[in-house]
Amino acid sequence: VGGGGGETVLAGVFDVTGPDAVVDWVMVELRDANAPATIVSTRSALLQRDGDIVGMDGTSPVVLFATPGNYHVALRHRNHLGVMTASAVALGATATTIDLRTASTPTWGSEARKDLGGGAMGCWMGNTVQDGQIKYTGSFNDRDPIISVIGGTAPTNVVIGYYREDSDLSGIV
């Protein structure tokens, strides 16, 4: 919806180390000011280790294409719960920074983010079945896919790599 998806990244972008190292992809969305469930524009972006979200070159701001106006800004990730601004933000031709990491940026719903300490907020991790909920037990829970990917029985096993079940983005499940 709205143009997101299909973006590509040059291999060198993934060679960066330290706080600006790319750890995953996210989807940034602009949503209608009056009907926040309506997605107006989307854009794939890169998540850095320090929590910055940048464009496909690994350094530039994320650019979304939409008519200047007021929009809710939402962020979605493959195995975290999404987050969205509580109110619409005025967006135009000049860059606007929206820092969803700070508690001072109000978000939609109660407890939409997790307090990571030190004044940083983050998305709730663990949505491995990608259903918008985090469940430890019951049908379609998020624990079973993790147990399955590490071998099925011993919860102390680990696998290394890029897996949907890697909820903390460490490269280890």
Question: For 131-158, how does the pLDDT look when each residue is reduced to its tens digit (9 = 90+)?
Answer: 989 999 999 999 999 999 998 877 788 9
Tell me which residue of 90, 85, 79, 119 sits closest to 103, measured CA to CA: 119
Using a cut of 0.75, tell me whether the model's pTM lies above it: yes
87, 149: one domain:
no
106, 22: one domain:
yes
**Domain range for 57:** 11-124
Dmax over CA atoms of the chain, in Å, equals 54
Centre a 10 Å sphere on the Cβ of residue 47 and count the other Cβ atoms it contains.
20
pLDDT by residue (tens digit) across 65-118? 899 999 999 999 999 999 999 999 999 988 899 999 999 999 999 889 999 999
Q: Which of 107, 124, 141 marks a domain boundary?
A: 124
116, 49: one domain:
yes
114, 142: one domain:
no
Per-residue pLDDT, 12: 93
pLDDT by residue (tens digit) across 10-57? 889 999 999 999 999 999 999 999 999 999 999 999 999 999 999 999
Separation of alpha carbons 111 and 90, rounded Å:
24
113, 158: one domain:
no
Q: Which helix (DSSP H) or strand (DSSP E) does residue 80 occupy?
A: strand 80-84
137, 161: one domain:
yes
Q: Which of 105, 124, 143 marks a domain boundary?
A: 124
150, 70: one domain:
no
119 located within any domain: yes
1 located within any domain: no
How far, CA to CA in Å, does 107 sit from each of 34, 49, 78? 15, 22, 19
79, 161: one domain:
no
- Please, what is the end-to-end C-alpha distance for the chain in angstroms? 31
Per-residue pLDDT, 152: 83
Cα angle for residues 133, 139, 144 (degrees, 5° grid): 80
Per-residue pLDDT, 48: 95
75 located within any domain: yes
17, 66: one domain:
yes
Give the total number of structural domains in the chain: 2
Separation of alpha carbons 132 and 117, rounded Å:
24
Tokens of 144: 């079973």
Per-residue pLDDT, 4: 61
Per-residue pLDDT, 1: 45
- Residue 3's pLDDT band (boundaries 50, 70, 90)? low
* Residues contacting 124, CB < 8 A, separation 6+: 80, 81, 113, 114, 134
Tokens of 74: 């939402």
Tokens of 101: 């990491």
